[in-house]
Amino acid sequence: MRKRYIATILIALTVVAYMALNDRQGEEYHDQEQAKLEPDFMVENLNLQNYGENGELRQTVKAKSAKHFPATDVQAEIVAFISPDITLHQADKKLWRLTAETGKLTNQRYLSLSGRVAIKPLVDASTRFSLKTATLNMDLNTQIANTDSDVIIENPNTLIESTGLTLDLKKETVQFISKVRGSHDPSHQ
């Protein structure tokens, strides 16, 4: 009887020790997983210039803050911005300015902007207009942007509203998706 009692106690102690060890390993795993979700660096008052392969200025990025999340086996590299202000350049000319409340850059290529998104051309004063929407996704390499949100494009004498659009900044073309409405006042020319 005594041998069974001692064997039972030894088995119970072994189970408790195993559970304690396993629990610590689970905490370490959880800590490692949590660390993957945290930024590896943060920047306040970001002012960044991005250059192409041949040394040409491609983008100027300003933001109130930016957080960099490194790529992992389950997540792409991400930079999260607060108040991004992005200027797109080509041949040393400022072409477009994009602003928003928040932004996310994935794999240094795909830009997602949210909250009072605005796009303005910076080159030709005769074609001044502004584009405003709630969200916008853009491939920075092709400079093609799209949204499913409501869009307002306006200049002093024209107002165009739609739901959704595709915008090619290089070709300077717009394709409206649906519910397109427009008005033009020739007296403001």
**Domains in the chain: how many in total?**
2
Give the CATH number for residue 147. 2.60.450.10
Same structural domain, 74 and 156: yes
Same structural domain, 56 and 122: yes
Same structural domain, 137 and 56: yes
Same structural domain, 62 and 21: no
Same structural domain, 49 and 116: yes
**How confident is the model at residue 85, as a pLDDT?**
95
pTM: 0.74
Q: pLDDT tens digits for the chain (189 residues)?
A: 566 666 677 676 676 667 766 666 655 554 555 555 688 889 999 999 988 888 888 889 999 999 999 888 778 889 999 999 999 888 767 788 899 999 999 998 899 999 999 998 887 655 678 889 999 999 988 989 999 999 998 888 888 899 999 998 888 888 999 998 988 887 765
Same structural domain, 143 and 83: yes
Q: Do the strands 110-121 and 85-90 form a parallel or antiparallel pair, or are they unpaired?
A: unpaired
Same structural domain, 89 and 101: yes
Same structural domain, 26 and 68: no
Same structural domain, 81 and 172: yes
Same structural domain, 106 and 13: no
Count of helices and strands (H, E) across the chain? 1, 11
Structural domain boundaries enclosing 10 = 1-38
User: What per-residue string of b and e applies to 85-94 under the rule 16 or more CB within 10 Å gives b?
Assistant: bbbbbbeeee
Same structural domain, 22 and 112: no
Same structural domain, 64 and 31: no
